[in-house]
Amino acid sequence: MGFQHGIGGINAASKQLDVIGNNVANSGTIGFKGSRAEFADMYAANFYGVAATQTGLGVRTETIAQQFSQGGITTTGNQMDMAISGNGFFVIKDTNGVSYSRNGQFKIDREGFIVNNGGSNLQGWAVDENTGRVLEGTQTSMRVDNSLLEPRPTDFPAGAGEIKWAFNLDSRQTSLDPANFDPANPATYNHTTSTNIHTTSTNIYDSLGNPYKLNLYFVKDTAGGGAWQVFARGIDETVSPNAVVDLGQQALTFDTEGKLPTGPNLLNFTAFDPGTLGVPVNAAPININIDFANTTQFGAQFSNNDIIQPGYPPSVVTNLEVSKDGIVSARYSNGQNKTIGQVILANFPNQQGLQSIGNNRWIQTYQSGTPTLNNPGSTNTGLIQSQALEEANVDLTAELVNMITAQRFYQANAQTIKVQDAVLQSVINLR
């Protein structure tokens, strides 16, 4: 029986060396998970059970167990690289079906889809195009729209949007006669957002994304009692000389504490129609609605404290950002952000049951159980670290020590065969 033992031992040692060699070979493979050979002893089958004097039949390789411990995370600076810190697998899909990976080396293909090196699409939750809300449970192949981001007019939505603009008007200013207002004469107004005086003017945008300047002029009214008149002007600076249109005037009245009455303080000026400037843009008029709710009249210098202007011009994607919870956002050249989707992570009841199919991928099996799909950072999944990758979880030092041990194991089993051969030769030589 010595030959059987030795052969079994050599086969086991050979298998162990194969596993160690594979681990060492993939020590630089992103997202690779090392394995180890696990062995079991063998006994001859017997109707009455194992005899007390039975020595066994040697050893066999029971399984090659994958080790799903966390690999080290290294930063790369590449905006599409992602590392999973914790449990979970990226979900990728191609014509062959769905597979799972820890390799976060993703790119954008010519159609805008986020893919891995094999061309498989990264899966995530879809986004409502109208609201930008992530639709959890609606799985899709994540895609970055490389076309122009459509412009949004200043009066979005549907001509009813408003500009939120907050100032402090200096209460110490001298009252002037609003009837004498002349934008060309600074002596006829107290404050202005005009760029030649302050840098507080703002752009407004028509339905085609064409920009115009919106300037305000503030005149402290001789009527007193905290009364001010606000004049608005629209300017097209793309022509020379600049085309200007007056948008009328509205009143603001502050109380003795320098504040406006509680509630909406929305002033509706004359709609700004680009067509009146003689520029053939064929755009809809812009309704100029300005909410001054947080504007004050204190004894301090004139200041622009806050502005929210909902319009923007058309633009292209300049950068992508991935948050720790997997939200992928596109940053556009006009400063806007748009949510592309949310990366989903899969987890399994038994990770050891996954079947490796190469190219840093696993597929589901009966032993692995059915995957659960969740947002990164939920109860059983880790977080996403952007611009980083997870290294292989192979400890090279430990693998080299294991290699020496397996070599000794192999040599020792070969020696048992040699000894058994010598014993048999001695028996044969008996006369």
Check whether residue 378 and residue 403 sit in a common domain: no
Distance CA 182, CA 55 (A): 111
Tell me whether residue 322 is in a domain: no
3-state secondary structure of 90: strand
Strand partners, 123: 141
Verify that 14 and 33 share a domain, yes or no.
Answer: yes
Same domain, yes or no: 188 and 254: yes
Count of structural domains within the chain: 3
- Whether residue 63 is found in the same domain as residue 17: yes
3-state class percentages of the chain: helix first, strand second, coil last, to nearest 5: 15, 40, 45
- Cα–Cα nearest to 103, from 29, 31, 26: 31
Cα distance between residue 190 and residue 220, in whole Å:
7
Give the structural domain span for 171: 163-308
Judgement on whether residues 274 and 177 belong to the same structural domain of the protein: yes
Assign residue 219 the CATH number of its domain. 2.60.98.20
Q: What is the pTM of this model?
A: 0.73
- pLDDT per residue, tens digit, the chain (431 aa), is 567 777 888 888 889 999 999 999 999 999 999 999 988 887 766 656 556 666 777 888 888 899 999 999 999 999 999 999 999 999 999 999 999 999 999 999 989 999 999 999 999 999 998 788 999 999 999 999 877 788 889 998 877 889 999 999 999 999 999 999 999 999 999 999 875 444 567 889 998 988 999 999 999 998 888 999 999 999 888 777 788 889 999 999 999 999 998 877 899 999 988 877 666 678 889 999 999 999 999 999 999 999 999 898 888 888 899 999 999 999 888 888 889 999 999 999 999 999 999 988 999 999 999 999 999 998 789 999 999 999 999 999 999 999 999 889 888 888 888 877 777 777 777 76
Specify whether 263 is located in the same domain as 281. Answer: yes
Q: Does residue 126 share a domain with residue 113?
A: yes
